[in-house]
Amino acid sequence: MEQPEPKRRVSLATKILIGLVLGAAAGLACNLLFPAPAPDALGDMVRGGFITRGQADALAAVISAAAPIVDPLVALGDMVRTGFITQVQSDAVGAVISGRDAHARLVWIADRVMNPIGQVFLRMLFMVVVPLVFSSLALGVATVGDLRSIGRIGGRTFLWFVVSTAFAAVIGLTLVNWFQPGVGMDPDLALKLREQFQDQAATRIDQAAAGTGFTIDTFVNIVPKNVVRSAGDDREALGVIFFALMVGIACTQLGRAKVATFLDVLQGLYEVCVKILGYAMRLAPIGVFGLIFATSAKLGLPLLQMLGGFVLVALGGLLFHLFVVLGTAARVLIGINPILLFGRARGLLITAFSTSSSNATLPTTM
């Protein structure tokens, strides 16, 4: 009797990719069904001779009135009955009001339902970053045992990060200065993007203003004054890494017999973090769906099309760095087939692409 073939399970990377595609498709579809109204719809009607300036001023007051104090649609009906506007004009303005309300509900769903779902997924990843990085680095250093080996590995790692970061910076600067994707951007598009991301931009500006630039203090600040505070500050992540390295080196110097219990605790902490990470990654398809839906529903296809030049330049730079720089390094330095490497890392790459967060990818990388 023939045994039935076992069902092939869909990989997590495939599920995340499906969530990404479905989130983008659903968000764009909702934006097409409930588009944002024109920023100056009444002004367009005046310029087109459809209504007068006096009618536009009165209608603007009606549109901006807050229900239930004033129901805009009821007020339009009163204007029709008094002869202030015609039924055709009322229908046109009513369509603007209905479209505005429908788009507002879509934005509410994106901000209050879909984005929080994605944020819960991201926060579960962020939650295990510090303990996972600390336990894995401390265990790794303590396991190596030989300080000279640790020094060689650390030196090579530092050199690799410097070289790869330099390549990424050169690629990015070259593409931006060559193609200049932001030149000639439509003013309305620039205004909408500024409103969309002004909070994030303000946060980045404040963080940059709080820094002192790349000086000797940059290296001094690697050594944390308070490792607990560093653990809660994304800008001081290097402090946690430095502390973990010092703990691992100290364990190596003391000898395994004296720190066996402590290393067992670190091993247990690492395994617990990995388990929690597994729980978080189960939410990845839903979380990615929520994040992509919220973004695409608010921006919409027309806006994304106008940003097409910037998107193509950014993606081109990322793909060049991934396949050319990192692929060459994988072949030359490690001797591994780049296609095989990228295939194994596809879940990590999709997570990085969909979350746009290096912190979100750090736990999955570890």
Q: How far apart are CA 287 and CA 117, in angstroms?
A: 6
Q: Given this model, what pLDDT does residue 91 score?
A: 78
Distance in angstroms (rounded) separating the CA atoms of residues 256 and 251 = 7
Instruction: Report in angstroms the alpha-carbon separations of 324 from 59, 291, 334, 338, 339.
Output: 58, 29, 15, 10, 12
pLDDT of residue 200: 63
Q: How many residues does the chain have?
A: 366
SS3 letters for 258-284? HHHHHHHHHHHHHHHHHHHHHHHHHCH
Rounded-to-integer distance, Cα 30 and Cα 19, Å: 16
Mean pLDDT by 10 residues, the chain (366 residues): 62 86 93 80 76 78 60 75 80 77 88 94 90 91 80 83 90 90 68 65 59 66 86 80 92 90 94 91 92 89 73 87 90 87 80 71 68
- Which residues lie below 8 Å from residue 73, measured CB to CB, with a gap of 6+? 94, 97
Name the CA dihedral angle for 169, 170, 175, 180, rounded to a multiple of 10 degrees. 70
Instruction: With 0.85 as the threshold, say if the pTM is over it.
Output: no
Q: Give the integer Cα–Cα distance in Å for 102 and 66.
A: 15
